[in-house]
Amino acid sequence: MWSPENLFSQNFEDLYLQRLFSGVEKGFYIDVGAWHPIQDSVTAIFYEQGWRGINIEPVKEIFSLLQAEREEDVNLCLAVLGDPEAATAALVVMGTNPCQWGHHHVTTSHLAEQGSAAASDASSTIRLVPASTLSEIINKYAYSQQINFIKLDVEGLEYEVLLGLNLSKLRRESRPQVILLEVTLPNTRLSSPHRQQCRDLLEENSYQHLYFDGLNDYYCEKSLHHIFEPLMLPPNVFDKPSIVAKNMFSASGDVESALSEVRSLRKDLMKAFGDLSTEAMNTENAFQRIGELENQLAQQAILLQEERETSHQINTKMSAVEKSLAELKDEREVLASKLRKIRHPRIDENADIC
The pairing of beta strand 149-152 with beta strand 104-107: unpaired
Interval 90-115: pLDDT, tens = 988 877 777 765 566 676 553 334 44
Average pLDDT score, the chain: 83
Domain residue limits at 70: 13-243
Interval 34-59: pLDDT, tens = 999 999 999 999 999 999 999 999 99
- Kindly tell me if the per-residue pLDDT of 302 is higher than 70: yes
- Kindly tell me if the per-residue pLDDT of 284 is higher than 80: no
Domain contains 321: no
Domain contains 276: no
| CA of residue 22 relative to chain centroid, distance | 28
Domain contains 302: no
Domain contains 346: no
Domain contains 145: yes
What is d(CA 173, CA 148) in angstroms, rounded to the nearest whole number?
A: 10
Q: What pLDDT is recorded for position 26?
A: 94
Q: What pLDDT is recorded for position 242?
A: 56
Domain contains 2: no
Instruction: Compute the average pLDDT of residues 275-302.
Output: 77
Domain contains 93: yes
Please tell me which residue, 123 or 339, carries the higher pLDDT value.
Answer: 339
Q: What pLDDT is recorded for position 315?
A: 72
Interval 286-295: pLDDT, tens = 778 788 887 8
Domain contains 91: yes
Q: Tell me the pTM.
A: 0.67
Residue type, 336: A
Number of domains in the chain: 1
Interval 220-277: pLDDT, tens = 999 999 999 999 999 988 887 655 444 454 555 555 566 666 667 767 777 776 776 6
Band (122; pLDDT cuts 50, 70, 90): low
From 61-70, 162-171, 244-253, 323-332, the region with the lowest mean pLDDT? 244-253
Please tell me which residue, 14 or 187, carries the higher pLDDT value.
Answer: 14
From 38-52, 203-217, 287-301, 302-316, the region with the lowest mean pLDDT? 302-316
From 59-68, 80-89, 123-132, 136-145, the region with the lowest mean pLDDT? 123-132
- Kindly tell me if the per-residue pLDDT of 146 is higher than 90: yes
Please tell me which residue, 314 or 296, carries the higher pLDDT value.
Answer: 296
Instruction: Compute the average pLDDT of residues 293-303.
Output: 81
Q: What is the CATH number of the domain that holds 159?
A: 3.40.50.150
What is d(CA 223, CA 289) in angstroms, rounded to the nearest whole number?
A: 76
Closest CA to 148 of 172, 170, 176: 176
| CA of residue 197 relative to chain centroid, distance | 40
CB 59 within 8 A of CB 91: yes
Instruction: Compute the average pLDDT of residues 201-229.
Output: 97
Interval 6-29: pLDDT, tens = 899 999 999 999 999 999 999 999
Q: What pLDDT is recorded for position 150?
A: 98
- Kindly tell me if the per-residue pLDDT of 126 is higher than 70: yes
Q: What pLDDT is recorded for position 253?
A: 55
